[in-house]
């Protein structure tokens, strides 16, 4: 079996897609750009905040201010309505602890602790959390997964990554990890060519885990 479990956050543990989509829509509307759900799903989900801003608005002198504005919009929504948990996420974290599996969150988010808190997962969250602030490059680059494996003291090749986005799966594969795609935010057809395994619910992860050499 693998030696460690590396989990994406958005779309794997917390159902934050609508929170992020609404924040992006508000931010880009302030600059006269329409950015609805479908555009979010195709251009922003799984990508770092900075990468999305550069892709939509180009290289700007107020880049840092735009990133701060996006964070503020997300926090406003979290404070107002919290953040839903992906179905099966609590049970997954409990089971991983019961099996004593080394566990880390590896995310493109720059505010993972706020999301974990808003979702009510703070007591179950792993001690190792690698976010975009800790690496030079965000997903689809492999940096977050390589750092997470290093912090756990495990070879990336012995880590199983759970991701919901093509960019995240590319990051996991580039790090040399085993990749499992979860179909929470993208259809199976968009994920299966980029992953080693595809599951539709987190409860199915243990069937994959237990079958691996």
Instruction: State yes or no: is 10 an active-site residue.
Output: yes
Helix axis angle, 143-152 to 166-175, nearest 10°: 50
Contact 155, 180 (CB under 8 A): no
Task: Give burial (CB, 10 Å; 0-12/13-18/19+) of 23.
Answer: buried
In 3D, which of 42, 41, 43 has the Cα closest to residue 51? 43
Are 166 and 194 within 8 A, CB to CB?
yes
DSSP codes, 29-45? HTTT----HHHHHHHTT
The contacts of residue 94 (CB under 8 Å, 6+ apart) are: 124
Q: Which of 3, 8, 15, 136 is an active site residue? A: 8
Helices (H), the chain: 17-29, 37-43, 49-57, 63-81, 89-98, 112-118, 143-152, 166-175, 188-191, 205-211
Is position 8 annotated as part of the catalytic site? Answer: yes
- Give which of 23, 85, 78 is closest to 52, Cα–Cα: 23
Which residues are designated catalytic? 8, 10
């Amino acid at each position: 079996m693998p030696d460690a479990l590396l989990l994406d956050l958005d779309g794997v543990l917390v159902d934050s897609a609508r929170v992020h989509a609404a924040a992006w829509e508000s931010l880009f509307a302030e600059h006269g750009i329409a950015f609805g759900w479908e555009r979010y799903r195709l251009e922003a989900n799984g990508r770092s905040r900075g990468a999305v801003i550069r892709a939509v608005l180009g290289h700007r002198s107020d880049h840092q201010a735009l990133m701060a504005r996006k964070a503020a919009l997300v926090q406003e929504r979290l404070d107002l309505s919290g953040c839903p948990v992906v179905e099966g996420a609590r049970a997954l974290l409990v089971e991983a602890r019961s099996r004593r599996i080394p566990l880390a969150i590896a995310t493109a988010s720059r505010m993972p602790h706020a999301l974990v808190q808003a979702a009510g997962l703070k007591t179950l969250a792993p001690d190792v959390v690698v976010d975009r602030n800790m690496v030079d490059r965000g997903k689809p680059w492999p940096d977050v997964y390589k750092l997470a494996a290093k912090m756990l003291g495990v070879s990336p090749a012995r880590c199983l990554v759970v991701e919901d986005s093509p960019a995240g799966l590319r990051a996991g594969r580039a790090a040399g990890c085993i990749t499992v795609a979860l179909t929470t935010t993208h259809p199976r057809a968009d994920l299966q060519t980029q992953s080693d395994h595809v599951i539709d619910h987190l409860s199915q992860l243990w069937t994959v885990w237990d079958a691996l050499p």
